[in-house]
Chain A
């Protein structure tokens, strides 16, 4: 104090390395100090984190359901097939030539040719109108090329494109794509996906408010302490720190609870799902939360906890000034 300016911060006057170590150590201490404060009121902490957990479990659970549905419908894409009904005048050899030509297209996995005679036989066998058909002088059925696209070309858009291409071959009379229902399913799933995103955004906001409000109450409860800190030279950053770490813990625990809830629900569901898919002779297996999704879930939760407390602290800490 011999010079004009007061000494800034005696603690940081040592070597930069020591200062950094002291700084990190302080952060670590505050991290565990705030954990200690939370553990002193376990019931209140559990209530808050459970609310966060349930709020985050909802969109996470829906995400898992959606992912499974996508996996399931991915298997149905193979069912997309294009039927080319050829003109009545087209002869067998011309039809085979066309079939070979189409087979060479990169989007096409395989082509099968059903001649007019085969079509009639099949129809007679399957329809039960065999005798009635005998009465006809002429075979009324066209020959058909049945085309299965490759998995890569099985998306609604790609199949649609392929359909338009095939339609332009001269021998083709009618080209028909039998996947309207697949398209509808995709649209419905897209709708659900958007719904999940909106729901997730709303619930994230709810988590922010829950954490913000909890931290606001914590700040009010510790008003006296904050005043004392400010009186003896605590910076805003110093005073803010324990509250931010409290938000961090809320986020972490909330994320873990959400993960537990989703995992538990999946375990409960896995048995009936297995029985159901067994009835459909399907190999489908319910997939849970993978590591990446879990990471995103818990990371988001922590981020929401931190942001919520940051907002509360920024809003309310300034109001508390020693008088």
Chain B
């Protein structure tokens, strides 16, 4: 599903965010991406979501070479990736329902189908019944779950999360990770960037460790 081949990212300022990174994640796998701040976690996720383009090497997502996707095609490409942000990126002037429905509206689903899917997604993250609330009235954990519901509502095969538990206490963090595990179990590929080592060491998933833009460790307890 995700394949990096000798991929490097150098910013115009001359900073090397990623250097010669190679790895492969098969479809349906769940993995953590870890490292200190500035190690390149966010850059790596940005390359996958085409928020940035690599300077050297190749990124293949689902067999598709990202270098060959034109600017005009990027929106269609992004619809196949659910992205979860540390700061949620919710629209605060819209209800929970409208926030979660946004990807479906963008993709042009009929209204009836939207209602069904939004409720299904909210049910999965345990927020059914809060459709009419505004995000500002929810707790941090609940806001993050709205973000997850929005990311999964159109059933993307790939889920990216950038520090999804950054502002949450350990118990809520575990809840969030549990939600990701559930998606992984139904075949969704999940890549979670986090520096919460205490949490990920309690979970039986692959860990990719970045340091100074290089992939320094790749452990998979299932192997």
Residues of A within 8 A of B (CB): 1, 4-12, 18-19, 22-23, 25-26, 224-225, 227-236, 238, 321-323
Contact = CB atoms under 8 A, between A and B. Distances in A.
A230 B62 contact: no
A231 B89 contact: yes
B110 interface: yes
B136 interface: no
A203 B104 CA distance: 42
Contacts of B105: 26
B108 A230 contact: no
Contacts of A26: 105, 108
A233 B75 contact: yes
A233 B75 CA distance: 4
Interface residues of B, number: 32
Interface string B169-197: 00000000000000000000000000000
Nearest to B154: A10
B109 A4 contact: no
A233 B64 contact: no
B51 to A, nearest CB: 6
Interface stretch (B33-41, B78-86, B120-128, B211-219): B78-86
Contact of B91 (A7, A22, A228, A236): A228
B157 interface: yes
B62 A232 contact: no
A20 to B, nearest CB: 11
Interface in B15-64: 27, 49, 51, 62-64
Among A1, A227, A232, A321, residue most surrounded by chain B Cβ atoms (within 10 Å): A232
Nearest to A8: B76
B107 interface: yes
B106 A234 contact: yes
Given A5-B64, A9-B79, A224-B91, A232 B51 contact: no
Given A12-B108, A321-B51, 7 more contacts: A4-B63, A4-B64, A26-B108, A228-B89, A233-B75, A233-B106, A234-B75
Contact of B80 (A6, A11, A227): A6
Contacts of B3: none
Contacts of A10: 79, 107, 109, 154
A323 B51 contact: yes
A233 B91 contact: no
A225 B92 CA distance: 9
Contacts of A224: 89, 91
Contact of B106 (A6, A23, A238): A238
A11 B109 contact: yes
B141 interface: no
B77 interface: yes
A215 to B, nearest CB: 18
Nearest to A321: B51
Contacts of A25: 111
A23 B63 contact: no
Contacts of B111: 25
B103 interface: yes
Contacts of A12: 108
A321 B46 CA distance: 12
A6 B81 CA distance: 10
Nearest to A225: B91
Nearest to B155: A10
A11 B80 CA distance: 13
8 contacts: A6-B62, A19-B108, A224-B89, A227-B89, A229-B102, A230-B78, A233-B77, A322-B51
B119 interface: no
Q: Nearest 10 A-B pairs (CB), nearest first? A: A11-B108, A233-B79, A233-B78, A1-B157, A4-B63, A11-B107, A235-B75, A6-B80, A233-B75, A234-B106
Nearest to B104: A11
A6 B77 contact: yes
Contact of B62 (A1, A234, A235, A238): A1
A228 B85 CA distance: 11
A23 B106 CA distance: 11
Nearest to A238: B106
Contacts of B109: 10-11, 22
A4 B157 CA distance: 13
Interface in B112-158: 150-151, 154, 157
A321 B50 CA distance: 11
A6 B78 CA distance: 10
A238 B105 CA distance: 10
Contact of B150 (A1, A7, A232): A232
A231 B83 CA distance: 8
Contacts of B75: 230, 233-236, 238
Nearest to A10: B107
